[in-house]
Amino acid sequence: MNAEITYVQEHRPMWGAIWMLATGLSFVAVTAIVKHIGGGVPPAEAAFLRYALGLVFLIPMLRPLFKANLQPRQVILFGWRGAVHSIGVILWFFAMTKIPIADVTAMNYLSPVYVTIGAALFYGEKLAFRRILAIVAALIGALIILRPGFREVSIGHIAMLFTAVLFAASYLIAKRMADEVSPVVVVAMLSLTVTIGLAPFAYAQWVTPTLAQVGWLFLVAVFATIGHLTMTLAFRAAPITATQPVTFLQLVWAATLGAVVFGEPVDGWVVLGGLVVLTSVSFITWREAVLKRREMTPLVNATKV
């Protein structure tokens, strides 16, 4: 009975999906603000300011961070996460100045695919055949939006290809750390290590920002910090395979944002691809919840204690 209660507390697929939905909304807000700023601030500098301004949120996190008593292995892993995430953030900011929001969001979907595969390879998480098919369908939806071979692949698209790989590596390390330390510590260490990692790149091409640009980048820090915190909570609530596919919903929000706010025309292929992705994500979330209920509900002929 105690084991059953513990399982329910530690593995909550629906709560994982809800936290990941909140993560998606936060990151879409980040995308909108960065798109609004445009190329006024160099990508590396904009990324650095986003993290440097976000350090203010570390103040309430300092006590649990000091009390965490991180082991050398954990510090090294956090350092590796900061390094790969720093480069990924620079490339992401650069891509936002070169290609539409929908393209950036769609290519981000490569990252959850890499994360899911990595979770199966390195963490031993199971990938049921139906879930694999759903993930493949979601990826096809993203490909429908991008239409490789039928449209120009710019340097921004290439930057996003590398961003997806780097963010996947960052997320996998975050999952391991979320199992060992509190979400607050995970978020705090990301802020510290990435700020340090971005500093030399920002210094190399520094341009004095306006007060308005600093204000917008502070908002980026606010939404991004919220997003990373809710993402970590999602990792603790459910396996990566249950939470990561939910990020595909960002496509719908991003396409709408691009059309309404930035005047980017709505592409029929984007709509079709979005429907494919949304259907796949809905199936994955529902199937995960059903499987977990079956695991927790005794069979009719099972022995009852």
What confidence tens digit (pLDDT) does each residue in 76-103 have? 999 999 999 999 999 999 998 888 888 8
Q: Is 302 among the domain residues?
A: no
pLDDT per residue as tens digits for the range 237-247? 777 656 666 76
d(CA 199, CA 207): 13
Contact yes or no for 35/262 (Cβ under 8 A): yes
Q: What is the CA radius of gyration of the chain?
A: 20
Could you give the number of structural domains in the chain?
Answer: 1
Q: Is 304 among the domain residues?
A: no
Q: Is 43 among the domain residues?
A: yes
pLDDT bin (cut points 50, 70, 90) of residue 218 is very high
The residue with greater pLDDT, 303 or 118, is: 118
Mean pLDDT of 269-284: 71
pLDDT bin (cut points 50, 70, 90) of residue 278 is low
Q: 21-30, 63-72, 76-85, 127-136 — which one is most confidently predicted on average?
A: 76-85
Is the pLDDT confidence value at 194 over 80? yes
Q: Is 261 among the domain residues?
A: yes
Q: Is 301 among the domain residues?
A: no
3-state secondary structure the chain: CHHHHHHHHHCCHHHHHHHHHHHHHHHHHHHHHHHHHHHHCCHHHHHHHHHHHHHHHHHHHHHHHHHCCCCHHHHHHHHHHHHHHHHHHHHHHHHHCCCCHHHHHHHHCHHHHHHHHHHHHHCCCCCCHHHHHHHHHHHHHHHHHHCECCECCCHHHHHHHHHHHHHHHHHHHHHHHHCCCCHHHHHHHHHHHHHHHHHHHHHHCCCCCCHHHHHHHHHHHHHHHHHHHHHHHHHHHCCHHHHHHHHHHHHHHHHHHHHHCCCCCCCHHHHHHHHHHHHHHHHHHHHHHHHHHHHHCCCCCCCCC
Contact yes or no for 144/198 (Cβ under 8 A): no
Q: Is 38 among the domain residues?
A: yes
Is the pLDDT confidence value at 288 over 50? yes
d(CA 167, CA 253): 20
For 103, counting Cβ atoms within 10 Å of its Cβ (0-12 exposed, 13-18 middle, 19+ buried), the class is: buried
pLDDT score for 39: 76
d(CA 41, CA 206): 9
Determine the structural domain holding residue 118 and report its residue range. Answer: 2-296
Task: Tell me how long the chain is.
Answer: 305
Instruction: Name the least confident of 136-140, 197-201, 273-277, 286-290.
Output: 286-290
d(CA 191, CA 53): 10
Is the pLDDT confidence value at 48 over 70? yes
Q: Is 305 among the domain residues?
A: no
d(CA 198, CA 52): 9
pLDDT cut 70: percent of the chain above it = 83
Q: Is 272 among the domain residues?
A: yes
